[in-house]
Amino acid sequence: MTETAPRPTLEAVAARAGVSRATVSRVVNGGDGVREPLVERVRKAVEELGYVPNQAARSLVTRRHDAIAVVVAEPETRVFADPFFALQLRGISKELTAHDNQLVLLLTEGRDDHARVGRYLAGGHVDGALVFSLHLDDPLPGLIQHAGVPTVFGGRPGWSGDRRGVVYVDSDNRGGARDAVRHLAGLGRTRIAHITGALDQTSAVDRLDGYRDVMVDADPQLIVEGDFTPTGGERAMRELLERCPDLDAVFAANDLTAAGALRVLRASGRQVPDDVAVVGFDDMLPVAEQTDPPLTTVRQDIEEMGRLMARLLLRGVDRRAGERVGGAPSSVVLPTTLVRRASA
């Protein structure tokens, strides 16, 4: 914890280079319209003094912060047991860094925090927001809309409010689920069960819908609600085995759920995939490759989702700043692919 040295200002650089503040400012911001010899002199002065612009002063006049908030509206510990979010964060970070933007992370713990986040966003500290893990009844989108900050959502928000101008990036959950179930059907399986995700999230609902698209008149006994966690998967699998001991396949809403289901199946003496075939969702590598047997699953490019969210948001921010960068960004749904491994 060292002590502060007073940092040089534009003024100081200008004095040293023998030019005006305005010229230094021009050079620091790209140097357009300044003649070469002067540019050189200013650069040298900047170097010698170790000048770094004061971001606060700059923001005060430009009204830009070059910072984006990432809001994770996840009250539970689940996000943290789940590499999903970390991967998106990585994608976001890469994209933001590439555009010289900073990432301000806002984790919310419970309801009270929503107000805090709303205030923060409204406070104009950041140029935009990326919002994750929305649940169906979440008040956050309303607050954000009210704050008037450009926003992109991670996953389609299941939100009943004003939809205009809502931009999100999502995977084709429904299509991916269809692929998974069709694959199982293609293997000759007929009693295909589904362990859902937490149904207060649209991704879980969409995957369930995809399952139903294929299993048009599925035995309702074959559907059990899970919660995207391994223990939820275990519980659901036990319930399924009790209700439908004759099932021959399981489509789990995500890989973690599938991992839990696999354990229960093994414990029950059933062989995977011979007795029961299992398909997951996400292709979360550390999980999907490490299960026994390795998991057949629906891959979504999570990091790319993150990167895309950031890109859309930055475009929206620039647009708002008056730069012409094409029309208003619109939502994107990314395709999924089935990855075959040993479990189905």
Part in contact with DNA (CB under 7 A); list of ranges 3-11, 176-184, 247-255, 280-288: 3-11
Q: How far is it, in rounded angstroms, from Cα 310 to Cα 158?
A: 21
Residues 6+ apart with CB under 8 A from 195: 224, 225, 226, 232, 233, 236, 237, 240, 250, 251, 252, 253, 257, 261
Helix then strand then coil, in percent of the chain rounded to 5, is 45, 15, 40
Q: For residue 6, what are its two tokens?
A: 């007073």
Q: Which amino acid makes up residue 203? A: S
Position among 44, 48, 54, 161 found at the interface with DNA (CB under 7 A): 54
Tell me the helices (H) and strands (E) count for the chain, helix number first. Answer: 14, 12
The reply on whether position 19 binds DNA by CB under 7 A is yes
Position among 109, 219, 268, 335 found at the interface with a second copy (CB under 8 A): 109
The reply on whether position 294 binds DNA by CB under 7 A is no
Of residues 22 and 81, the one with the C-beta less far from a second copy: 81
Q: How far is it, in rounded angstroms, from Cα 175 to Cα 222?
A: 20
Span between the terminal Cα atoms of the chain, in Å: 56
Of residues 21 and 263, the one with the C-beta less far from DNA: 21
The reply on whether position 60 binds DNA by CB under 7 A is yes
The reply on whether position 58 binds DNA by CB under 7 A is yes
Restricted to residues 271-300, the positions that interact with a second copy (CB under 8 A) are 285-286, 290, 292
Residue 228 is given by DSSP the state S
Q: For residue 40, what are its two tokens?
A: 């050189």
Query: Quick one: what does residue 286 bind among DNA, a second copy, none, with the CB cut-off 5 to 8 Å set by partner type?
Result: a second copy
The reply on whether position 321 binds DNA by CB under 7 A is no
Smallest gap from Cβ 317 to DNA, in A, equals 15
The reply on whether position 25 binds a second copy by CB under 8 A is no
Strand 151-154 versus strand 167-171 pairing type: parallel
Element (H, E) at 298: strand 296-299
Of 312, 255, 302, give the one whose Cα is nearest residue 89: 302
Sites of contact with a second copy (CB under 8 A): 1-5, 7, 50, 52-57, 59-60, 65, 67, 70, 77, 79-81, 83, 85-87, 89-90, 93-94, 97, 102-107, 109, 113, 116, 119-120, 122-125, 145, 148-151, 165, 167, 230, 259, 263, 285-286, 290, 292, 316, 319-320, 328-329
Sites of contact with DNA (CB under 7 A): 9-11, 18-23, 25, 28-29, 33-35, 38, 51, 53-54, 57-58, 60-62
